[in-house]
Amino acid sequence: MKETSLNCCCQTDIFHTFLVNGAYGVIVALEFVELPDPEHNRIGTPMFLQNLFKSFRPKMMLMAGLLVYVGVNLSINNVDWALILLVMMLCGITMVQNDYFDRNNDKKKGKFFASENQKKLLIFLTIFWTLLVIMVLLTQQHQIMFLAGILICF
Amino acid sequence: MLPAILVAFIASFPILLPMMGNISKVGILIFSSAFCSILGRELLNDTEDKDVDRGYKKTLSSLGILSDRTIHKISALLIFISAIALSVIIPTGITGIFLILSVMVLILSALIIYKDEGTRGKMVFDIGIFLVLITLAL
């Protein structure tokens, strides 16, 4: 009777070791196999675009645009839509950049978009910032150059 | 505290952009109001994220320098100052009525935050600040 129980215990141990090693083997194998991105992280899918749009914080962009518009209303200048648009873009891209920098910490809040799309976001940020700087230079907005300068230094 | 002040300064700065070289008294008042309200909201955000920020960001809440209750009181005070700054510039006519209503929403949000209901207060504050901006833009 005693022998049977010992045998049973050994069998359980062997099974357990097999399971643990098996799981470890799977984990090791996964590190060498580059799995394709899941559906929601593929560029161009509605889910990816939706998450990217959310990263821009459209509400904050609208608020920033409204703030500039209020400033325009108070000044003697004419409404400068290029200035409003550029400030909105600067606000949006700064929000995305903030998400990129906080990607590891944001995981604790349940936000995985930036951490799962690290490389894509970095490429996107580089392209977007370059385009924005070109736009600023083309529009010859001295005020926006000043703000962009502060933001870049920041 | 310094990052929150910097964020509030940068976020409220766009209002002065179109007035550069010709900044009016009203412009400064609206800038101050925006600065105080954004700073108040940032401090509120910090209290909500204090568990996540611990060891990553140095905020008043995450470092435990001030209690959540005290930070809520400071936020409420800042939003109240912002509402007072706005009430100084209330114009006459329909815009004035709308601005008074918006300022009242802001004061209500300050009261809710003062009662330690940060999340609900923040929601009311967002509505208030949006109404203020729409009214001033019209």
Distances in Å between the Cα of A29 and the Cα atoms of A20, A23, A39, A63 are 14, 10, 22, 49
B interface mutation test: which of A61, A70, A101 has the most B CBs within 10 A?
A70
List strand residue ranges (DSSP E) for chain A, in order. Answer: none
- Residue written as token pair 């920020």: B53
Model confidence pLDDT, tens digit, residues A100-151: 888 888 888 888 888 888 888 888 888 888 888 777 777 766 666 666 666 6
Q: What is the pLDDT of residue B78?
A: 92
Q: Token pair of A7, please? A: 């045998």
Q: Are B17 and A147 in contact (CB under 8 A)?
A: yes
HSE value, Cβ hemisphere, 13 Å, CA-based, for B25: 2
Among B9, B13, B41, pick the best mutation site for testing chain A contact (most A Cβ within 10 A). Answer: B13
Instruction: Write the DSSP symbol of residue A33.
Output: S
Where along chain B do its domains lie? 2-137
Q: What is the pLDDT of residues B2-33, one digit of tens each?
A: 778 888 888 888 787 777 777 778 888 888 88
**How many CB atoms are closer than 10 A to CB B97?**
13
| pLDDT tens for each residue of B67-105 | 888 989 999 999 999 988 888 877 777 878 888 888 899
Split at pLDDT 50, 70, 90, the class of A24 is: low
Complex ipTM value: 0.79
Query: Which of A42-46, A70-74, B36-40, B67-71 has the lowest average pLDDT?
Result: A42-46
Q: A-side interface with B, Cβ within 8 Å?
A: 59, 63-64, 66-77, 80, 83, 87, 105, 108-109, 142-144, 146-147, 150-151, 154
pTM of the model: 0.73
- Written out in words, the top-level CATH class of the domain with range B2-137 is mainly alpha
Average pLDDT over residues B34-60: 85
Q: Which residues of A52-90 are buried (b: 16+ CB within 10 A; e: fewer)?
A: beebbbeeebebbbbbbbbbbebbeeeebeebbbbbbbb
Across the range A52-59, mean pLDDT stands at 87
Residues 6+ apart with CB under 8 A from A13: none
Return the DSSP state at B67: -
Cα distances (angstroms) measured from residue A149 to each of A2, A83, A146, B14: 80, 15, 5, 13
Residue with tokens 């703000």, as numbered in its chain: A147
Q: What is the pLDDT of residues B28-44, one digit of tens each?
A: 888 888 899 989 988 88
* Whole-number percent of chain B with pLDDT over 70: 99
CA distance A46 to A41: 10
Of A67, A69, A76, the CB nearest to B34: A67
* Cβ within 8 Å, pair B13-A143: no
